[in-house]
Amino acid sequence: MKEKSFQDEQFENIEYNLKTINEKIALSAEKSGRTRDDVRFMAVTKTVDVFRINKALDCGIDLIGENKVQEFLSKKPDLKLENVECHLIGHLQTNKVSKIVGEVDCIESVDSLKLANEISKQSSKLGITTNVLVEVNIGGEESKTGLPKELLEETLYRISELPSIKVVGLMTIPPFSQNNAQNRKFFSNMYNMYVDIRSKKIHNITMDILSMGMSGDYEDAIACGSNLVRIGSAIFGPRIY
Ligand SMILES: *Cc1c(COP(=O)(O)O)cnc(C)c1O
């Protein structure tokens, strides 16, 4: 009998993991009074090779997230991206904006007015509008990217005046913690801010997406109102840098 190749095994794991995660997303959504279709499932593909990413796409994944501009652009031509959305989720430097605008459907990691300005400027040049999320540093950690929550509202008003960028929601990465109750507190804070801002009906800004929850905490995030979870290692295994 022919032995299974390493790649066959990797592919089987991806298929199995996606199925398991999908079931858990459905359960968590139901617990929060919603359905599976109310929560989007992003496969985070940083450090993952194109073969494994394409396997996940073959299994029905329709949204992927990459952290680095260069890594995404070098893999993009080999990915089966028909009917698939791509988001940039990693910290973006202003000097890389011109390379990524027009190449992704959404930039989830906008954390300053300066960055938003540049995204709008480069989008104008291409004659497009770029959808973005504003990343909030909900834990107030000095080491983390993301906008301090105290600056969120004012920054949103400023961004709303820019011509070629549209904020469609919020994203966050809470402080690392093994403590679920602690995590849920941050997620709930985010949800409250999201609902509060939505109620203000700021011109040119919609609150459609609340992106929070990763491999270790997506069930809690959904329970607290997330509608987009970003999952990497629970699909593809530990990352090898
Ligand atoms: C890497 C990463 C993820 C996925 O992390 P996992 O713990 O592997 O699921 C999600 N969001 C962002 C912004 C990331 O950088």
How many angstroms separate the Cα of 202 from the Cα of each of 64, 81, 116, 206? 28, 33, 16, 8
188: left (phi over 0), alpha (psi -120 to 50) or beta: alpha
The angle at the Cα of 101, spanning 91 to 126, to the nearest 5 degrees, equals 155
Give pLDDT tens digits for 205-222: 999 999 999 999 999 999
Q: Is 90 in the pocket of ligand 1 (CB under 6 A)?
A: yes
Lookup result for tokens 């970003």: 230
Give pLDDT tens digits for 71-86: 999 999 999 999 999 9
Contacts of residue 8, defined as CB under 8 A and 6 or more positions apart, other chains included, come to none
Alpha carbon of 234 to ligand 1 centroid (Å): 10
Task: Report the distance separating Cα 158 and Cα 105, nearest Å.
Answer: 22
Lookup result for tokens 């629970």: 234
Contacts of residue 135, defined as CB under 8 A and 6 or more positions apart, other chains included, come to 108, 109, 110, 111, 145, 146, 147, 170, 171, 172, 173
Q: Is 46 in the pocket of ligand 1 (CB under 6 A)?
A: yes
pLDDT for the residue 16:
98
Alpha carbon of 200 to ligand 1 centroid (Å): 30
pLDDT for the residue 22:
98
Alpha carbon of 214 to ligand 1 centroid (Å): 6
Contacts of residue 134, defined as CB under 8 A and 6 or more positions apart, other chains included, come to 110, 111, 147, 152, 155, 156, 159, 167, 169, 170, 171
Return per-residue pLDDT of the chain as tens, 241 residues: 678 899 899 999 999 999 999 999 999 999 999 999 999 999 999 999 999 999 999 999 999 999 999 999 999 999 999 999 999 999 999 999 999 999 999 999 999 999 999 999 999 999 999 999 999 999 998 888 999 999 999 999 999 999 999 999 999 999 888 788 888 999 999 999 999 999 999 999 999 999 999 999 999 999 999 999 999 999 999 988 7
The encoded tokens of residue 160 equal 């709303």
How many angstroms separate the Cα of 73 from the Cα of each of 60, 100, 174? 22, 8, 28
Alpha carbon of 1 to ligand 1 centroid (Å): 39
The encoded tokens of residue 68 equal 């680095």
In this structure, are residues 133 and 170 in contact, taking their beta carbons and an 8 Å threshold? Answer: yes
Q: Ligand 1 atom closest to Cα of 89?
A: 13
Q: Is 214 in the pocket of ligand 1 (CB under 6 A)?
A: yes
Alpha carbon of 218 to ligand 1 centroid (Å): 11
pLDDT for the residue 122:
98
Q: Ligand 1 atom closest to Cα of 236?
A: 8
